[in-house]
């Protein structure tokens, strides 16, 4: 259950509200009450069906997809209409109509929601007319429920826009952090290479010349000065070896993978990212860049599509193979995975390094990637 998705909580409140609406009917309209235009058992059957459909469209919406969701939603709207018109004397049951407008805002486009609001408004008018026989009462009731539904629809739409904005900001945050990490990495790499070149070109060349001069001096000098020249020649050789070793280390220096990935997922409000990078992993700059981009895409993909509250990312080293495993507790894809541009980008980056990628959308969404360590 995603912390940012209000449907589960609103669905729970909706179910409790529906039960509260049905309780007075059970008390006041039991038996063969003339308040019912149909057999009582039929009314309760429709009412139970409405509650079940509401549960599916809110609490279980991630498990019923596409056409299934629309069919259940259509059943919810139809059953609400039936419940209201079968017992128009119970005016408070018209509250159930409002849930159809609210759920439609989550599941459908504007035209469908407007149609649902119009249908519910007409039903409220008909129910009031059947109960009172007064056209004025029917019009006032229709106006009341039209305004109630409009207020609910606008409130839900406002929240959804805010939610979409928050998700876009989270995506931008992740992408900006990844770009910052890679830029800082490139800057440090350029600076190391510049220092390495300076050491090699200036100090290295000078020490080489000094070593050669001392070599000549060692052959031409006589004791006791020869002993000091020989010792100075050895010191120059050792110093030259140290400089060459330092230059080589600067060129081979690998970025800190754990630090780079932690900076990407830091301060991300949602989902909660659980990152674990095994100790002792050392990879070159090219592989760090690829892993950073893969993690960036995994995080943004989870924010954009999964509706997950948690995302786990693990990177390990198994006998020279770097393994990236990422999975979330979101809605998944129902088994079949159709990679978009982002997932295709992950596969291209990994395969360019001689690795492979596997995707699984069964429970949540899982990405596995393997690349050679060197």
**Residue 101 or residue 11, greater confidence:** 101
Single pTM value for the model: 0.62
Q: Do 290 and 349 meet the contact criterion of CB atoms below 8 Å apart?
A: yes
Q: Do 190 and 198 meet the contact criterion of CB atoms below 8 Å apart?
A: no
Is pLDDT at 374 greater than 70 in this prediction? no
Residue that is last in its domain, among 105, 139, 168: 168
Structural domain includes residue 202: no
> Is the preceding omega at residue 271 within 30 degrees of 0, hence cis?
yes
What is the model's pLDDT at position 1? 46
Structural domain includes residue 224: no
Is pLDDT at 253 greater than 60 in this prediction? no
The range of the structural domain enclosing residue 142 comes to: 7-168
Please, which pLDDT band fits residue 91 given cuts at 50, 70 and 90? confident
| Strand pairing class (272-277; 310-318) | parallel
Residues with Cβ within 8 Å of 13's Cβ and at least 6 positions away in sequence, in order, are none
Residue 318's DSSP bridge partners are 321
Are 27 and 144 part of one and the same domain?
yes
What is the model's pLDDT at position 174? 73
Buried (b) or exposed (e) across 321-345, using 16+ Cβ within 10 A? Answer: ebebbbbbbbbbbeeebeeeebbee
d(CA 308, CA 314): 17
| Strand pairing class (356-360; 366-372) | antiparallel
The CATH number of residue 364's host domain is 3.30.565.10
Q: Which residue blocks in the chain are alpha helix, DSSP H?
A: 7-28, 40-58, 67-86, 95-107, 110-132, 135-198, 205-220, 225-252, 257-265, 285-301, 341-352
How much is the average pLDDT of 332-345?
A: 69
Each residue's pLDDT tens digit, 276-321? 887 777 777 777 778 888 888 888 887 777 777 788 888 887 777 8
Are 146 and 289 part of one and the same domain?
no
Each residue's pLDDT tens digit, 48-79? 888 888 888 777 655 555 556 788 888 888 88
Each residue's pLDDT tens digit, 133-192? 888 888 998 898 889 888 888 888 888 887 777 777 777 777 777 777 767 666 666 566
Are 145 and 266 part of one and the same domain?
no
What is the model's pLDDT at position 220? 66
């Amino acid at each position: 259950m995603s912390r940012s998705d209000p449907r589960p909580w609103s669905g729970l409140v909706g179910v409790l509200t529906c039960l509260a609406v049905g309780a007075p009917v059970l008390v006041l309209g039991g038996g063969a009450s003339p308040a019912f235009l149909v057999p009582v058992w039929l009314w309760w059957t429709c009412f139970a069906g409405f509650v079940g459909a509401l549960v599916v469209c809110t609490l279980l919406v991630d498990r019923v997809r596409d056409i299934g969701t629309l069919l259940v939603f259509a059943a919810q709207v139809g059953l609400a209409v039936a419940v209201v018109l079968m017992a128009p004397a119970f005016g408070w049951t018209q509250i159930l109509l409002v849930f159809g407008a609210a759920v439609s805002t989550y599941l459908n486009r504007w035209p469908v929601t407007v149609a649902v609001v119009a249908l519910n408004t007409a039903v409220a008018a008909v129910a009031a007319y059947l109960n009172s026989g007064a056209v004025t009462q029917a019009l006032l009731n229709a106006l009341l429920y039209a305004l109630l539904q409009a207020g609910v629809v606008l409130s839900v739409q406002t929240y959804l826009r805010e939610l979409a904005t928050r998700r876009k900001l989270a995506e931008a945050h992740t992408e900006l952090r990844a770009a910052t990490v890679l830029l800082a990495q490139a800057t440090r790499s350029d600076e190391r290479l510049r220092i390495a070149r300076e050491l090699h070109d200036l100090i290295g060349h000078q020490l080489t010349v000094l070593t050669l001069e001392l070599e000549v001096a060692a052959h031409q000098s006589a004791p006791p000065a020869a002993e000091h020249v020989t010792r100075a020649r050895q010191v120059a050789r050792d110093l030259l070896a140290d400089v060459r070793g330092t230059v080589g280390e600067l060129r081979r220096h690998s970025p800190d993978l754990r630090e780079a990935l932690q900076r990407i997922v830091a301060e991300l409000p949602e989902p909660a990212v659980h990152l674990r990078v095994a100790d002792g992993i050392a990879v070159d700059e090219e592989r760090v860049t690829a892993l950073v981009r893969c993690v960036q895409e995994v995080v943004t993909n989870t924010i954009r599509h999964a509706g997950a509250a948690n995302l786990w990312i693990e990177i390990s080293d198994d006998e020279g193979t770097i393994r990236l495993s990422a999975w979330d507790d979101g809605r998944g894809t129902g088994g079949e995975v159709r990679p978009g541009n982002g997932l295709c980008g992950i596969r291209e980056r990994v395969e360019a390094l001689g690795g492979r990628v596997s995707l699984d959308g069964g429970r949540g969404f899982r990405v596995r990637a393997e690349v050679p360590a060197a």
